[in-house]
Chain A
Amino acid sequence: NAGVMQNPRHLVRRRGQEARLRCSPMKGHSHVYWYRQLPEEGLKFMVYLQKENIIDESGMPKERFSAEFPKEGPSILRIQQVVRGDSAAYFCASSPRTAGSNQPQHFGDGTRLSIL
Protein backbone atom coordinates (compact mmCIF):
# COMPACT_ATOMS: atom_id res chain seq x y z
CA ASN A 1 0.00 0.00 0.00
CA ALA A 2 1.61 3.19 -1.14
CA GLY A 3 1.23 5.99 1.34
CA VAL A 4 0.84 9.66 0.57
CA MET A 5 3.54 10.59 -1.92
CA GLN A 6 4.99 14.05 -2.08
CA ASN A 7 7.53 15.34 -4.53
CA PRO A 8 10.00 16.72 -4.67
CA ARG A 9 11.33 16.00 -1.17
CA HIS A 10 13.59 19.04 -1.39
CA LEU A 11 13.12 22.09 -3.56
CA VAL A 12 15.41 25.10 -3.85
CA ARG A 13 14.20 28.28 -5.46
CA ARG A 14 15.51 31.81 -5.79
CA ARG A 15 13.42 34.75 -4.67
CA GLY A 16 10.83 35.63 -7.29
CA GLN A 17 10.62 32.16 -8.83
CA GLU A 18 7.65 29.81 -8.67
CA ALA A 19 7.46 26.67 -6.56
CA ARG A 20 5.20 23.73 -7.39
CA LEU A 21 4.67 21.03 -4.80
CA ARG A 22 2.91 17.81 -5.70
CA CYS A 23 0.93 15.40 -3.59
CA SER A 24 -0.55 12.05 -4.59
CA PRO A 25 -3.00 10.86 -1.93
CA MET A 26 -3.32 7.29 -0.76
CA LYS A 27 -5.24 5.04 -3.11
CA GLY A 28 -8.95 5.50 -2.60
CA HIS A 29 -8.58 8.83 -0.79
CA SER A 30 -10.38 11.77 -2.31
CA HIS A 31 -9.68 14.39 0.37
CA VAL A 32 -6.39 16.26 0.52
CA TYR A 33 -5.03 18.71 3.09
CA TRP A 34 -1.95 20.92 2.94
CA TYR A 35 -0.05 22.08 6.02
CA ARG A 36 3.03 24.24 6.48
CA GLN A 37 5.63 23.81 9.20
CA LEU A 38 8.15 26.50 10.01
CA PRO A 39 11.34 25.45 11.85
CA GLU A 40 10.74 24.45 15.48
CA GLU A 41 6.99 25.01 15.17
CA GLY A 42 3.91 22.83 14.83
CA LEU A 43 2.10 22.33 11.56
CA LYS A 44 -0.33 25.03 10.40
CA PHE A 45 -3.33 24.15 8.26
CA MET A 46 -3.44 25.81 4.84
CA VAL A 47 -6.12 24.30 2.63
CA TYR A 48 -8.51 21.36 2.30
CA LEU A 49 -9.55 20.07 -1.11
CA GLN A 50 -11.71 17.40 -2.59
CA LYS A 51 -11.52 16.42 -6.24
CA GLU A 52 -11.92 19.63 -8.29
CA ASN A 53 -13.16 21.60 -5.26
CA ILE A 54 -11.59 23.77 -2.59
CA ILE A 55 -13.49 23.13 0.62
CA ASP A 56 -11.59 25.27 3.13
CA GLU A 57 -8.76 27.64 2.32
CA SER A 58 -8.90 29.61 5.54
CA GLY A 59 -5.21 29.00 6.27
CA MET A 60 -3.91 29.93 2.86
CA PRO A 61 -2.22 33.32 2.39
CA LYS A 62 -4.40 35.48 0.17
CA GLU A 63 -1.66 36.31 -2.31
CA ARG A 64 0.83 34.18 -4.25
CA PHE A 65 -0.49 30.83 -2.97
CA SER A 66 -2.93 28.57 -4.78
CA ALA A 67 -3.92 24.92 -4.63
CA GLU A 68 -5.74 22.53 -6.88
CA PHE A 69 -6.78 18.90 -6.89
CA PRO A 70 -7.84 18.03 -10.44
CA LYS A 71 -10.02 15.12 -11.44
CA GLU A 72 -6.94 13.31 -12.69
CA GLY A 73 -3.47 13.62 -11.25
CA PRO A 74 -1.94 14.85 -8.02
CA SER A 75 -2.84 17.83 -5.91
CA ILE A 76 -0.61 20.83 -6.56
CA LEU A 77 0.34 23.59 -4.15
CA ARG A 78 1.70 26.51 -6.11
CA ILE A 79 3.64 29.44 -4.68
CA GLN A 80 4.33 32.31 -7.02
CA GLN A 81 7.12 34.88 -6.61
CA VAL A 82 8.59 33.10 -3.61
CA VAL A 83 10.14 35.05 -0.76
CA ARG A 84 12.53 33.96 1.99
CA GLY A 85 9.67 33.63 4.45
CA ASP A 86 8.18 30.83 2.34
CA SER A 87 11.05 28.55 3.39
CA ALA A 88 9.37 25.76 5.31
CA ALA A 89 8.34 22.12 5.18
CA TYR A 90 5.05 21.61 3.37
CA PHE A 91 3.07 18.51 4.26
CA CYS A 92 0.18 16.93 2.47
CA ALA A 93 -2.32 14.59 4.11
CA SER A 94 -5.22 12.57 2.75
CA SER A 95 -8.28 10.85 4.10
CA PRO A 96 -10.77 8.49 2.48
CA ARG A 97 -14.00 10.46 2.85
CA THR A 98 -15.41 13.45 4.61
CA ALA A 99 -13.11 13.84 7.53
CA GLY A 100 -15.03 13.89 10.71
CA SER A 101 -13.72 13.38 14.14
CA ASN A 102 -13.10 9.70 13.54
CA GLN A 103 -11.08 9.85 10.38
CA PRO A 104 -7.32 10.03 10.83
CA GLN A 105 -5.33 11.91 8.25
CA HIS A 106 -2.43 10.15 6.58
CA PHE A 107 0.59 12.35 5.95
CA GLY A 108 3.36 12.34 3.41
CA ASP A 109 6.96 13.04 4.35
CA GLY A 110 6.78 16.59 3.09
CA THR A 111 8.57 18.89 0.69
CA ARG A 112 11.29 21.03 2.21
CA LEU A 113 11.32 24.33 0.37
CA SER A 114 14.39 26.53 0.64
CA ILE A 115 14.47 30.02 -0.80
CA LEU A 116 17.86 31.51 -1.64
Chain B
Amino acid sequence: DAKTTQPNSMESNEEEPVHLPCNHSTISGTDYIHWYRQLPSQGPEYVIHGLTSNVNNRMASLAIAEDRKSSTLILHRATLRDAAVYYCILRDGNTDKLIFGTGTRLQVFP
Protein backbone atom coordinates (compact mmCIF):
# COMPACT_ATOMS: atom_id res chain seq x y z
CA ASP B 1 0.00 0.00 0.00
CA ALA B 2 1.33 3.39 -0.95
CA LYS B 3 2.20 5.53 2.04
CA THR B 4 1.34 9.12 2.85
CA THR B 5 3.13 11.55 5.14
CA GLN B 6 1.33 14.33 6.97
CA PRO B 7 2.32 16.73 9.75
CA ASN B 8 1.13 15.58 13.15
CA SER B 9 -0.64 18.81 13.95
CA MET B 10 -1.51 22.25 12.61
CA GLU B 11 -3.17 25.33 14.01
CA SER B 12 -5.37 27.98 12.49
CA ASN B 13 -7.46 30.92 13.52
CA GLU B 14 -11.13 31.04 12.76
CA GLU B 15 -12.10 32.39 9.32
CA GLU B 16 -8.55 32.03 7.99
CA PRO B 17 -7.65 29.64 5.15
CA VAL B 18 -5.97 26.37 6.08
CA HIS B 19 -3.63 24.39 3.85
CA LEU B 20 -3.11 20.80 4.96
CA PRO B 21 -0.21 19.13 3.13
CA CYS B 22 0.26 15.48 2.25
CA ASN B 23 3.29 13.82 0.67
CA HIS B 24 2.86 10.62 -1.32
CA SER B 25 6.07 10.19 -3.27
CA THR B 26 5.39 6.49 -4.04
CA ILE B 27 1.97 7.12 -5.57
CA SER B 28 1.18 4.98 -8.59
CA GLY B 29 -0.67 6.01 -11.72
CA THR B 30 -3.91 4.39 -10.62
CA ASP B 31 -3.98 5.74 -7.07
CA TYR B 32 -6.66 8.25 -6.19
CA ILE B 33 -6.03 10.73 -3.39
CA HIS B 34 -8.81 10.74 -0.80
CA TRP B 35 -9.28 12.94 2.26
CA TYR B 36 -11.38 12.07 5.27
CA ARG B 37 -11.69 13.87 8.57
CA GLN B 38 -12.68 12.65 12.00
CA LEU B 39 -14.29 14.96 14.51
CA PRO B 40 -14.01 14.07 18.20
CA SER B 41 -16.12 11.06 19.20
CA GLN B 42 -17.39 10.58 15.64
CA GLY B 43 -16.65 8.32 12.72
CA PRO B 44 -14.58 9.53 9.77
CA GLU B 45 -16.30 11.77 7.25
CA TYR B 46 -15.47 11.86 3.54
CA VAL B 47 -14.16 15.25 2.46
CA ILE B 48 -12.93 15.09 -1.12
CA HIS B 49 -10.93 13.01 -3.60
CA GLY B 50 -9.09 13.45 -6.88
CA LEU B 51 -6.77 11.80 -9.38
CA THR B 52 -4.81 14.45 -11.30
CA SER B 53 -6.80 17.65 -11.57
CA ASN B 54 -7.62 20.02 -8.75
CA VAL B 55 -11.05 19.45 -7.26
CA ASN B 56 -13.55 21.66 -5.47
CA ASN B 57 -16.65 20.82 -3.49
CA ARG B 58 -18.75 22.49 -0.84
CA MET B 59 -16.44 21.38 1.95
CA ALA B 60 -12.95 21.99 0.58
CA SER B 61 -10.58 22.15 -2.36
CA LEU B 62 -7.91 19.64 -3.28
CA ALA B 63 -4.78 20.85 -5.03
CA ILE B 64 -2.68 18.07 -6.60
CA ALA B 65 0.92 18.66 -7.64
CA GLU B 66 1.73 18.14 -11.29
CA ASP B 67 3.93 15.12 -10.50
CA ARG B 68 1.23 13.86 -8.09
CA LYS B 69 3.78 13.28 -5.35
CA SER B 70 2.05 15.69 -3.03
CA SER B 71 -1.33 17.29 -2.50
CA THR B 72 -2.90 19.95 -0.32
CA LEU B 73 -6.34 20.06 1.22
CA ILE B 74 -7.58 23.63 1.41
CA LEU B 75 -10.24 24.82 3.80
CA HIS B 76 -11.05 28.31 2.56
CA ARG B 77 -12.36 29.72 5.85
CA ALA B 78 -11.77 27.61 8.93
CA THR B 79 -14.52 27.38 11.50
CA LEU B 80 -14.41 25.91 14.99
CA ARG B 81 -16.32 22.95 13.58
CA ASP B 82 -13.41 22.14 11.30
CA ALA B 83 -11.26 21.10 14.27
CA ALA B 84 -10.62 17.43 13.54
CA VAL B 85 -8.02 14.89 12.48
CA TYR B 86 -7.58 14.99 8.71
CA TYR B 87 -6.48 11.83 6.92
CA CYS B 88 -4.90 11.74 3.46
CA ILE B 89 -5.37 8.28 1.91
CA LEU B 90 -4.29 6.70 -1.37
CA ARG B 91 -6.69 4.24 -2.94
CA ASP B 92 -6.15 2.21 -6.08
CA GLY B 93 -8.83 0.59 -8.16
CA ASN B 94 -7.96 -2.88 -6.89
CA THR B 95 -8.71 -2.39 -3.24
CA ASP B 96 -11.80 -1.50 -1.31
CA LYS B 97 -10.29 -0.88 2.09
CA LEU B 98 -9.06 2.47 3.35
CA ILE B 99 -5.56 2.57 4.82
CA PHE B 100 -5.50 5.27 7.49
CA GLY B 101 -2.28 6.84 8.74
CA THR B 102 -2.12 8.98 11.86
CA GLY B 103 -3.39 12.10 10.09
CA THR B 104 -3.04 15.79 10.93
CA ARG B 105 -4.79 17.12 14.01
CA LEU B 106 -6.12 20.58 13.15
CA GLN B 107 -6.82 23.00 15.95
CA VAL B 108 -8.89 26.10 15.21
CA PHE B 109 -8.78 29.05 17.57
CA PRO B 110 -11.49 31.69 17.88
B96-A31 in contact (CB<8A): yes
Question: Which residues on A are within 8 Å of B, measured CB to CB?
Answer: 4, 31, 33, 35, 41-45, 48, 55-56, 58-59, 91, 93, 95, 98-102, 104-110
A33-B93 in contact (CB<8A): no
A91-B103 in contact (CB<8A): no
Determine chain B's interface SS by DSSP, over half rule: loop
20 extra interface residue pairs, beta carbon distance < 8 Å, beyond A43-B98, A45-B98, A105-B98: A35-B98, A41-B102, A42-B102, A45-B99, A48-B96, A48-B97, A56-B96, A95-B96, A98-B96, A100-B96, A101-B30, A101-B32, A101-B49, A101-B51, A101-B91, A104-B34, A107-B43, A107-B45, A109-B41, A109-B43
A100 vs B46: C-alpha distance in the bound complex, in angstroms? Answer: 14
B interface, how many residues as a size bin?
20 to 34
A110-B87 in contact (CB<8A): no
Q: Within B79-110, which residues are at the interface with A (CB < 8 Å)?
A: 87, 91-93, 96-103
What are the residues of chain A within 8 A of B51 when measuring CB–CB? 101
Given contacts A42-B87, A101-B32, contact A59 B97 (CB under 8 A): yes
In the complex, how many angstroms separate the beta carbon of B59 from the nearest chain A beta carbon? 12
B32-A93 in contact (CB<8A): no
What are the residues of chain A within 8 A of B100 when measuring CB–CB? 35, 42-44
A31 vs B91: C-alpha distance in the bound complex, in angstroms? Answer: 17
